[in-house]
């Protein structure tokens, strides 16, 4: 190749041509255009998308090996391509090979296996620029199809579900190239840096990835071991700021349910690791830990997010950094306050009355406090029985809980009417653990315990009525009705008969048959009624005066006490007598010293010897012995009367219950020789008047020196140094000797040039300004050119490529007197435009009228070249 231009300057003592840069021909980087544009120098290609905005020769190295050391003479009509583009791990090639001829109508090729295209086959060179984001898939897919990149199916489905399968999903873990001024510039980083994975946006800011992202490990051909793990990512956390249960590995999958990141609902006695009170709300089997078995599911509180207990329904509300709470169990205004970590206006924490909801604020989610029944409904009592004011039977808020649960201390007292909801044996425990079935289902679930309410007992929600209820003597009664009299249940009216009080009742944990003694009138003074002003006379206690009590049942039964409590099943009056206790209700009449009872004219227990106190509380009949503890354990206070004067009990069997991108003219003159000296060069041919040089006087039709003109052609030289006077005057006399270089240099060279072998050895200084111009640019004539090469090295730009041009003969006179510039058609830059003399805009007239110009439409300059010479 050529010596450098700097070296030429040293040899020449200066240049007759302007120094050139890469941009002088094809811009830097080369300018892409839809056609070969003579003005801009642009041509079809993709250089602008492969180079920085301010490119240097080094920028060309990835595809043109050695470009950084190219000299001006590198243009030889052959385009050279690297055998391995961009030093790719797998040999990356251009489909047209490593070199091919530069042609006026090029055929484009494509690249394969190049690292900067992620080893994909590229579009043809010169194709339309890729656009963002649609062009991303040209190299690596948008998104790539490997690992867990978002997809519709397979290992990347979860990422696809959350972030979509377009380029917008890429920014979750990579820089957003679509927003950059040159979206595809990152491709040039191949081989210069590692693959960039970063989590820069909320909620994953600060996360890390452990995979091998070094170059070239991440390229497809390398089968890279890049499948690392993500850490410190909110997307893969337990939802409460902690690490996920299963560390996610790129390319692998997590369990189909939620258990890859955080616990799911547990049904074992092992506590879940979910935050706050999840376990208390969701784990019904772990009684010892949570106390109340709510049995809720994920969807009950996160219906905005999940579609089931194990499936996400709305991905935009999952891993969004928020606690998207919603109540599937009512309460349209229900919400969760992330600041206070508490719920409010939620049905789950209300009094349970749909017609008149009263919300109760539960403890904060991160609180360790627990709730009993009275934490939601019935807050005024330890038991938690609903305590909202009753609006009566016709209202939406009837309430008779106080009448039924007065004095109760265990939630087992709720079981007789809510048998499928609460446990009859375990305090503060739900019998059915699926929250949506009974508890928290928004309904009034009344299911009677047959053994307590009778096998035929039923509940009508529409009318809020109990029917065939044993508790009310087999009759019907509305919830919220006014307090019934005893006879409303036990007598059915104002005139009960003995039979009205027949049936079964509970006595000390056992069903018993009852019957009332009397004549059919509530004014009956029979067994069920002591004297109107009777007092309790036993053991010195204060008198209990019964005067004014109209409901005669209350002589013995206290209406302020709940039915069926463990300590007082029959609401018997307790006169706190240290001797008799609950039996005191009986001892009003039957204690030793009482007046006795007269029934149907028959006085009974009238004698001191026959009083209960005289013999029943002896060795056999005490609580410490096997005998009865209470009077009614053996005797029926509403008993058989005259048929069994001692009213001895009879016990029936029990039942059980069950429950989820031109020469001039010449004239003769006299020759004048110098008087002394041998003729010098200028004595032969003179360029200024008088034109009396030897050659001027004789040569009247030559192209250069005549009697009337001279053009400084090789001024200072003897003409015979090139044109001898031997030979046939018709054919060879005065013909230039030694081929082309006999007249002018091969090639012509600027003044001061001294040629050496291997460096334009036959070049000779031109004799007119600008004539040498840029011949010595290596791309024009090879530095090793020899005159013996003949016209070949000149024909490319002169005489349209002819090897023996008629326009330039080496005979006298030499014709024409113009220098012809007519570039070969094969060097057309724009194939649609012809080449020819008009594409050089200099003045090509001898005699000093020449003016340097530029070439146009030549492929070696793409656009208008620099001026041929800097001299003229």
Per-residue pLDDT tens for 449-470? 888 888 889 999 889 999 988 7
Distance CA(489)–CA(792), nearest Å, equals 134
Give the mean pLDDT of the chain. Answer: 74
pLDDT tens-digit map of 267-298: 666 667 778 788 777 766 554 333 444 567 78
Distance CA(720)–CA(711), nearest Å, equals 17
How far from 608 is each of 535, 588, 592, 593, 632, CA to CA, in Å?
Answer: 19, 14, 6, 7, 21
pLDDT of 47 strictly over 90:
yes
pLDDT band per the 50, 70, 90 thresholds, residue 8: very low
pLDDT band per the 50, 70, 90 thresholds, residue 92: very high
pLDDT tens-digit map of 192-247: 999 999 888 778 888 899 999 999 999 999 887 788 999 988 889 888 778 888 99
pLDDT for residue 121:
96
More reliable by pLDDT, 389 or 596: 389
Name the token pair of 399.
Answer: 């309430």
pLDDT for residue 347:
82
pLDDT for residue 752:
75
pLDDT, mean of residues 580-589: 65
pLDDT, mean of residues 421-426: 82
Distance CA(128)–CA(52), nearest Å, equals 18
Q: Which residues contact 10 (CB under 8 A, 6 or more apart)?
A: none
pLDDT of 604 strictly over 50:
no
pLDDT, mean of residues 422-433: 74
pLDDT for residue 725:
63
pLDDT of 189 strictly over 80:
yes
pLDDT for residue 639:
52
More reliable by pLDDT, 544 or 68: 68
Q: Lowest mean pLDDT: which of 103-107, 154-158, 529-533, 553-557?
A: 529-533
Radius of gyration of the chain (CA): 59
DSSP-assigned beta bridge partners for residue 513: 504
pLDDT for residue 840:
86
pLDDT of 137 strictly over 80:
yes
pLDDT tens-digit map of 466-521: 998 877 777 888 998 887 666 666 554 444 444 444 444 433 334 444 444 433 33
pLDDT of 759 strictly over 50:
yes
pLDDT band per the 50, 70, 90 thresholds, residue 599: very low
| Residue from 300, 286, 345 nearest 439 by CA | 300
Residue carrying structure tokens 């009299």? 485
Is there a contact between 222 and 203 (Cβ–Cβ < 8 Å)? no
Would you list the DSSP string of 291-322? SS-----HHHH-TTTBSSSS-BS-GGGSSSSS
The two beta strands, 342-344 and 475-478, are: unpaired
pLDDT for residue 633:
58
pLDDT for residue 315:
87
pLDDT for residue 769:
76
Distance CA(274)–CA(279), nearest Å, equals 7
pLDDT tens-digit map of 672-693: 444 344 556 677 788 888 887 7
pLDDT for residue 730:
55
pLDDT tens-digit map of 377-408: 888 888 888 888 888 888 888 999 988 887 78
Angle at 202 between CA 199 and CA 204, to 5 degrees: 45
pLDDT of 544 strictly over 80:
no
pLDDT of 161 strictly over 80:
yes
Q: Lowest mean pLDDT: which of 253-267, 665-679, 698-712?
A: 665-679
pLDDT, mean of residues 710-731: 67
pLDDT for residue 410:
85
pLDDT for residue 151:
93
Q: Lowest mean pLDDT: which of 588-597, 762-771, 793-802?
A: 588-597
Q: What percent of the chain has pLDDT over 90?
A: 16
Residue 588: exposed, middle, or buried by beta-carbon count in 10 A (0-12, 13-18, 19+)?
buried
Q: What kind and span of H or E run contains 598? A: strand 597-599
pLDDT tens-digit map of 653-674: 334 444 444 333 333 344 444 4
pLDDT for residue 563:
61
């Amino acid at each position: 190749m050529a010596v450098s231009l700097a070296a030429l300057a040293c040899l020449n003592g200066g240049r007759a041509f302007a120094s050139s840069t890469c941009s002088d021909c094809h811009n830097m980087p080369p300018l892409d255009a839809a056609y070969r544009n003579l003005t801009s120098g642009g041509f079809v290609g993709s250089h602008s998308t492969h180079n920085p905005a301010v490119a240097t020769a080094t920028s060309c190295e990835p595809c043109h090996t050695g470009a950084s050391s190219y000299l001006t003479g590198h243009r030889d009509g052959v385009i050279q391509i690297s055998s391995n583009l961009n030093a790719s791990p797998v040999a990356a090639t251009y489909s047209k090979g490593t070199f091919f001829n530069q042609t006026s109508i090029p055929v484009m090729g494509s690249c394969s296996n190049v690292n900067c295209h992620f080893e994909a086959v590229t579009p043809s060179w010169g194709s339309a620029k890729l656009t963002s984001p649609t062009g991303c898939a040209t190299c690596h897919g948008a998104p790539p199809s490997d690992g867990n990149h978002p997809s519709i199916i397979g290992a990347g489905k979860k990422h696809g579900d959350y972030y979509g399968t377009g380029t917008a999903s890429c920014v979750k873990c990579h820089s957003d190239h679509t927003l950059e001024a040159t979206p595809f510039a990152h491709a040039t980083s191949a081989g210069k840096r590692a693959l960039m994975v970063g989590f820069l946006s909320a909620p994953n800011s600060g996360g890390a990835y452990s995979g091998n992202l070094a170059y070239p490990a991440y390229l497809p051909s390398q089968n890279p071991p890049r499948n690392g793990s993500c850490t410190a990512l909110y997307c893969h956390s337990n939802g409460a700021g902690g690490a996920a249960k299963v560390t996610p590995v790129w390319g692998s999958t997590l369990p189909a349910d939620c258990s890859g990141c955080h616990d799911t609902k547990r049904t074992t006695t092992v506590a879940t690791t979910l935050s706050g009170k999840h376990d208390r709300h969701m784990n019904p089997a772990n009684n010892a830990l949570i106390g109340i078995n709510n049995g809720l599911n994920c969807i009950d509180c996160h219906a905005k997010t999940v579609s089931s207990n194990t499936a996400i329904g709305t991905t935009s509300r999952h891993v969004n950094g928020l606690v998207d709470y919603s109540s599937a169990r009512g309460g349209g205004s229900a919400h969760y306050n992330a600041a206070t970590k508490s719920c409010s206006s939620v049905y789950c924490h209300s009094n349970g009355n749909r017609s008149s909801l009263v919300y109760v604020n539960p403890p904060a989610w991160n609180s360790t406090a627990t709730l009993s029944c009275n934490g939601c409904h019935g807050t005024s009592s330890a038991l938690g029985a609903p305590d909202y004011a009753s609006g009566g039977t016709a209202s939406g808020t009837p309430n008779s809980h106080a009448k039924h649960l007065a004095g109760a201390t265990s939630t087992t007292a709720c079981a007789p009417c809510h048998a499928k909801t609460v446990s009859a044996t375990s305090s503060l425990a739900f019998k059915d653990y699926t929250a949506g079935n009974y508890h928290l289902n928004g309904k009034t679930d009344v299911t009677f315990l047959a053994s307590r309410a009778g096998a035929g007992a039923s509940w009508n929600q529409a009318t809020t009525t109990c029917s065939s209820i044993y508790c009310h003597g087999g009759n019907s009664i509305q919830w919220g009705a006014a307090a019934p009299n005893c006879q409303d249940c036990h007598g059915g009216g104002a005139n009960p008969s003995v039979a009205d009080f027949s049936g079964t009742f509970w006595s000390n944990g056992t069903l018993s048959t009852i019957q009332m003694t009397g004549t059919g009138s509530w004014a009956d003074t029979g067994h069920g009624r002591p004297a109107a002003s009777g007092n309790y006379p036993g053991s010195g206690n204060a008198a209990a005066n019964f005067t004014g009590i109209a409901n005669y049942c209350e002589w013995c039964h206290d209406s302020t006490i709940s039915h069926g409590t463990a300590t007082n099943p029959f609401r018997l009056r307790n006169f706190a007598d240290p001797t008799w206790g609950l039996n005191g209700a009986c001892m009003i009449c039957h204690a030793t010293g009482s007046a006795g009872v007269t029934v149907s004219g028959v006085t009974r227990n009238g004698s001191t010897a026959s009083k209960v106190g005289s013999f029943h509380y002896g060795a056999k009949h005490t609580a410490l012995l096997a005998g009865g503890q209470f009077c009614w354990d053996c005797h029926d206070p509403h008993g058989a009367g005259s048929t069994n004067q001692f009213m001895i009990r009879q016990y029936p069997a029990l039942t059980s219950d069950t429950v989820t991108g031109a020469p001039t003219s010449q004239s003769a003159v006299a020759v004048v020789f110098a008087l002394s000296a041998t003729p010098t060069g200028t004595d032969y041919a003179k360029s200024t008047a008088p034109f009396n040089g030897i050659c001027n006087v004789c040569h009247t039709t030559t192209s250069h020196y005549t009697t009337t003109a001279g053009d400084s052609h090789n001024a200072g030289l003897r003409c015979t140094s090139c044109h001898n006077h031997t030979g046939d005057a018709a054919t060879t006399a005065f013909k230039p000797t030694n081929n082309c270089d006999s007249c002018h240099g091969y090639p012509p060279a600027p003044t001061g040039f001294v040629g050496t072998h291997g460096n334009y050895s036959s070049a000779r200084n031109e004799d007119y300004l600008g004539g040498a111009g840029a011949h010595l640019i290596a791309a024009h004539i090879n530095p090793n050119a020899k005159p013996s090469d003949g016209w070949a090295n000149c024909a490319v730009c002169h005489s349209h490529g002819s090897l023996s041009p008629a326009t330039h003969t080496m005979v006298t006179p030499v014709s024409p007197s113009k220098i012809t510039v007519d570039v070969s058609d094969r060097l057309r830059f724009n194939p649609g435009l012809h080449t020819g003399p008009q594409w050089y805009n200099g003045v090509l007239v001898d005699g000093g009228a020449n003016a340097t110009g530029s070439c146009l439409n030549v492929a070696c300059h793409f656009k208008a070249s620099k001026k041929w010479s800097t001299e003229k």
